[in-house]
Structure 1
Amino acid sequence: MCMQATCATCGGKSWRGCGQHIPRVLDSVPAEEWCSCPKPEGSQYPPKA
């Protein structure tokens, strides 16, 4: 199960866990609050915290 986390590098909202529930964790968070580190290739979501 994935849960919200804070990126240690930029302080933005990210996720931690298995990676299968990222949309459930981040879709309710405004994109401007997401982690600003480079997204993994092929993903619309920020990297794992």
Structure 2
Amino acid sequence: MKKWFQKLLKSIEEANKRNFGEQKMDCCDLNKKGSKKSNNSNKK
């Protein structure tokens, strides 16, 4: 079970590197691009 879980974490880590590169996984940094669009669509 331990090896299976380590393999799962490793695959998630590799997928994150492919999707986000080496940038910091900070919610504020990740949402900077989309925050302006989502804020404008929520205003009425």
TM-score interval, normalised by the smaller of the two chains? under 0.3
Larger radius of gyration: 2
TM-score, normalization: structure 1?
0.21
TM-score, scaled relative to structure 2 = 0.23
- Which structure: greater strand fraction? 1
Q: Which has the higher helix share?
A: 2
